[in-house]
Amino acid sequence: MTEASKRAKLGVVIVAAGRSSRMEGVDKQVTLLGGEAVISHSMREFEQFEDVGSIVLVMSADNLDAGKAAVEAAGFSKVVGVVAGGERRQDSVKIGLDLLASQVEGSPEFVAVHDGARPFIDAEMIGRGLVTAQKIGAGIAAVPVKDTIKTAPHRVVTATPDRSGMWAVQTPQIFRYDVLKTAHEMTSEDVTDDASMVESVGGMVAIFTGSNDNIKITTPEDLELASLIFDRRKQGDLKSGAGSVATEGSRFGIGFDGHGLVDGGPLRLGGVDIEFDKRLDGHSDGDVLFHAVASSILGAAGLGDLGGRFPSSDERYAGFDSAQFIAESARLAHEAGWLVSHVDATIIAQRPRLASEAPKMASRLGMINGLEHSSINVKVTSTDHVGAIGAGEGIAAQAVATLTPVTK
């Protein structure tokens, strides 16, 4: 976990100032979905996300009272303002950015911009976006385009672009605050989203995995679909998987972790206590093999990384049994529609000699919830005395997880 991610505080601008012109008289922002306003669903996800410090809800002038009523009814404590938007979407976002910066603690390090009419985000998606923004400066939720795309001015086809590199963009879009603020200050022309604004001034934008459930309610038909998605999620149907794209075929994820060795044994590795005069230094139990396995599962399922999900800044994980990281990662993958079918792991250590311990570690892995039906392979290698590991200063591990879709 980097120092930047430990410091990260996320501000949120939820944009709900549209006119609902295609909703045939129904206001999509405040219409009920599952008994509460559409905007309340996404607000709740941000409210419950630990790194979120403040939320601004930007409504149309006509809907201010309805927005305030939704916040009050749900008891959202992180909402610092419900304000009227501007003429254009980017004007509404700018109003939200300015209000976030006016708080006592000042502007947040990161800001998420989200459409109020997208009620089906989840914590995993927000986490993926924050990690991406920490690494790149700007991250946008998106899913691969599945349909053939045609360029057709005046409805006459002129080209069929290759869809293999195309993505359908969603929100949330998460940025370093200063990156988005600067883009707004430098851009006056109309843009369709905040990422376009950052791109136009030379900023780099990366994609993180969105969800096919993460629809934007624009028409009455969308509202009907949203009701179906809400009912399916409420019933716990795993076929689509909250926070993931469609589950077709197998997925593979790679995890890696390494820690230094410090005085005082025993050595905890692969869930096994090994007699040795040193142990792995780490916030939890330092078990690099288990950390690598958990990371590979999260990666294969598109659920972010280990540090984002189990931060070392959280005192709950001090001395934590890393088997629980694996069990929780497997559970989250299962919720997203995936089963762990195989794990292949390699320990990289010069000392102590661990070959005789590998079968015990494989057996211990196979007993962890979520891996009990998986095939497990654990190998051991060294660096032939090259580098810090070769000098006996640390141990590392790499794992590859294979995930297959949940079937009913």
374 annotated among ligand-binding-site residues: no
- Nearest residue to 60 via CA among 98, 92, 25, 93: 92
306 annotated among ligand-binding-site residues: yes
Rounded-to-integer distance, Cα 382 and Cα 389, Å: 8
Rounded-to-integer distance, Cα 187 and Cα 189, Å: 6
253 annotated among ligand-binding-site residues: no
H/E element holding 293?
Answer: helix 288-300
Cis peptide before 153 (omega within 30 of 0): no
258 annotated among ligand-binding-site residues: yes
Rounded-to-integer distance, Cα 391 and Cα 382, Å: 10
Burial of residue 359, with CB atoms counted within 10 A of its CB: 0-12 exposed, 13-18 middle, 19 or more buried: exposed
Q: Which residues pair with 142 in a beta bridge?
A: 169, 209
334 annotated among ligand-binding-site residues: no
190 annotated among ligand-binding-site residues: no
DSSP-derived 3-state class of residue 193 = coil
Tally the C-alpha atoms within 13 A of residue 162's C-alpha that lie toward its C-beta: 2
373 annotated among ligand-binding-site residues: no
40 annotated among ligand-binding-site residues: no
Residue type, 249: G
- Tokens at 287, concatenated: 């078990």
319 annotated among ligand-binding-site residues: no
CA 386 to each of CA 329, 348, 350, 390, 397: distance values in angstroms, whole numbers, following the listed order = 33, 11, 9, 5, 16
CA 336 to each of CA 71, 268, 312, 378, 384: distance values in angstroms, whole numbers, following the listed order = 29, 31, 25, 26, 41
- Nearest residue to 285 via CA among 346, 294, 304, 374: 294
Rounded-to-integer distance, Cα 113 and Cα 372, Å: 40
The CB density around residue 305, as the number of other CB atoms within 10 Å, is 18
* Binding site per annotation, positions for a divalent metal cation: 257, 259, 291
* Binding site per annotation, positions: 257-259, 283-284, 291, 305-307
